[in-house]
Structure 1
Amino acid sequence: MPWGFNYDHDRDGRLIEDYWHEEWETVREDFAEMQALGANVVRVHLQLGRFMETPERPNARNLARLADLLALAEETGLRLDLTGLGCYHKADVPAWYDPLPEADRWAVQGRFWSAVAETCAQSPAVFCYDLMNEPLVAGAPREDWLGGGFAGKHFVQFLTLDPNGRSRGEIAREWIRAMTAAIREHDADTPITVGLIAHPPQNPGAFSGITPEIAVAELDYVCVHLYPETGKPDEALAMLAGFDRGKPVVIEETFPLKCSPEELETFLDRSAERADGWIGFYWGATPEELAERDDLGAALTAAWLDLFRQGPPPRPE
């Protein structure tokens, strides 16, 4: 049962690929700290531009460093949720990538996953491959592959710029199958999933275009991203229920972003009826280090980590 952290950036907002060559000891220290806090899974976000030098050629240096990360995870007893195809920093998106037509872009994405899976297939440290963070299927033509930014990063991207007569579900299924096939060339067993935005409770696939039915049919388990809001715990639980369709459901992102730590604790306890795992956030600072800072963000993060140290919520009998 995953109980862990998104290790999506450090305390300075840098992605792991920004420092894992020059500051490997920082990565080692952070993994030891996450393990000490009680984590068993770490979600790592990999940008496409750091792993594909050209549309055809993977980046051997970063694949080698990924192999080092696998060894570190094995050493610390942690499992990796490898989330790929990120375009979080626009500056890191290759100039050749966005002009590609859809079919060529998907082909590059498949080569990314083939290279990653070939590197990872023999490691027991891989918990899953998450095909993309919060993909969206456009229902009408658009011009930009990326969604809006948040805190200087673009966490959301689109699978197509033009549906061209296809339904959103048809596009989603075709893309998931193409990425899955690329991984299965090298790794037949590791679970595959997609990190989905859980919204809204009355139609949980309406925003992304990837419905619970598609997720259950095409993926090994379902991941949803849930940030409960103050005074609206039932709404968040209804979102979770919308994705509980017969396969395990992991809350792959959660944090007291829109509620208090106490409200989040209540939500986690109540979610245990349906959730099969929870993954929060760790940004390279321990609760003790955060206690030395005098700002609201540090206090909120420290409260979250104190909650995390209590362990996962008890599962109902």
Structure 2
Amino acid sequence: MTARRHDFRIPMISLAVCASLASLCWAAGDKGLERIRVSDDGRHFVGAESGRRFIAWGVNYDRDDDGRLLEDYWQDEWPTVVEDFGEIKALGANVVRIHLQLGRFMKTPQEPDKASLARLADLAKLAERTGLYLNITGLGCYHKQDVPAWYDAMNESERWDVQARFWEAVAKTCAQSDAIFCYDLMNEPILPGGDKVETDWLAGDFAGKHFVQRIALDLAGRSREEVARAWVDALVAAIRKHDARSMVTVGVIPWAMTWPKAKPLFYSDEVGENLDFVSVHFYPERGEIDKALTALAVYDVGKPLVIEEMFPLRCSLNEMDAFIDGSRQIADGYISFYWGKTAEEYSREPHDIKAMLIRGWLEYFQTKTPDILDTPSRRD
């Protein structure tokens, strides 16, 4: 697969153009958002009533530029969240992926945190007003120091029970909102390999955060598929007690990038029956765009496919654009990142390489919006 290349040296975009781009986002105007579902043929997303094709084009809103998680500031700095949603809308996005920490939503193994649930309800209403859909990713333990000691000490069965209660509480809170794009059960869950017995539920850290989490420490004679299927089905059942409408997915690491012959675990026939669409995370390497596209094709399993995380972390912006264009035949959505600062704000840091990189990406994202939202990604 050979991807197209473009040269993106993008000027700042006027507010008038921002407004024009934002109008391309999926919203039903004064009537509010239309719920999104999987199409009848199971291949892409559509509006629940209109049947109109929906392409997810969004951002992860997981933290701010200082590294604070959303739940670190959404209680005391709610106007900041409101402002950020307006800025995300102006970028042209239609989906916001948020990440909820289990320790902030479960006060005890049995008792959900009412204040956090109330703020989540506020966020759903804000999304409705702004014309944005929410991808609610749960069970986060990103800050290891914030993980409750009682949770860390639990065995597998006890831990899964708490996770189910978490999802029951979240689904009950959000069930009536048409702004819910999906529930993502967990960010990048993994299992131990073979007969190995692990001792830590969290796997490594990246910039001080633990994004990868184990759902079991010991296979105990079970196959990986058996464990993954039991976990998925238990959490989906918890969600369906209160929300029978919203889609469910799980964001996974693309192991096919590391091992070309690797097959999907969570999206295999043995595991993924109750997952509505595929979510996979891609950060292509410089000079390896074709390799990334080949790996992505492994996850084209007959369901809608969303690249739930993407950013030119290890490749150039031009290469990232080539990856996006090269994936348009199979991808039904793309979710990048927004960390609470606009391109204009980053432009005030002209000597900061990181700021220049993020500014360039935000400008690219905004410019790319009409191309993505005007053109169906999966050809009929």
Matched residues in 1 for 2:124 and 2:378: separation?
A: 33
**TM-score normalized by structure 1?**
0.97
Matched residues in 1 for 2:124 and 2:267: separation?
A: 32
Matched residues in 2 for 1:68 and 1:164: separation?
A: 42
Matched residues in 2 for 1:94 and 1:16: separation?
A: 18
CA RMSD of aligned residues (A): 1.3
Match of 1:297 among 354, 369, 373: 354
Matched residues in 1 for 2:231 and 2:263: separation?
A: 16
Matched residues in 2 for 1:89 and 1:121: separation?
A: 28
Q: Does 1:65 align with 2:141?
A: no
Residue 334 of structure 2 corresponds to 278
Aligned pair count reads: 315
Of structures 1 and 2, the one scoring higher in RCO (CA 8 A, sep 6+) is: 2
Match of 2:261 among 203, 221, 226: 203
Q: Does 1:18 align with 2:72?
A: yes
Q: Does 1:53 align with 2:102?
A: no
**Contact 2:249 2:276 survives alignment (8 Å):** yes
Residue 40 of structure 2 corresponds to none
Runs of 4+, deviation exceeding 3 Å: 203-206, 209-216, 312-317
5+ long unaligned stretches in structure 1: none
Secondary structure of 1:97's match?
A: helix
Match of 1:161 among 217, 221, 224: 217
Secondary structure of 1:64's match?
A: helix
The residue type paired with residue 89 of structure 1 is H
**Contact 1:212 1:242 survives alignment (8 Å):** no
Q: Which has the larger radius of gyration?
A: 2
5+ long unaligned stretches in structure 2: 1-54
Matched residues in 1 for 2:287 and 2:299: separation?
A: 22
The residue type paired with residue 199 of structure 2 is E
Q: Render the CA deviation track for 1:69-122: whole Å, top value 9, x for unaligned.
A: 001000100000000000000111001001111000000000000000000000
Match of 2:364 among 301, 307, 314: 307
- Note the C-alpha offset of 1:205: 4.1
Identity %: 57
The residue type paired with residue 74 of structure 2 is W
Match of 1:287 among 343, 354, 358: 343
Q: Render the CA deviation track for 1:242-277: whole Å, top value 9, x for unaligned.
A: 000110000000000010111101111111011000
Secondary structure of 2:129's match?
A: helix
Secondary structure of 2:279's match?
A: strand
**TM-score normalized by structure 2?**
0.81
Residue 115 of structure 1 corresponds to 169
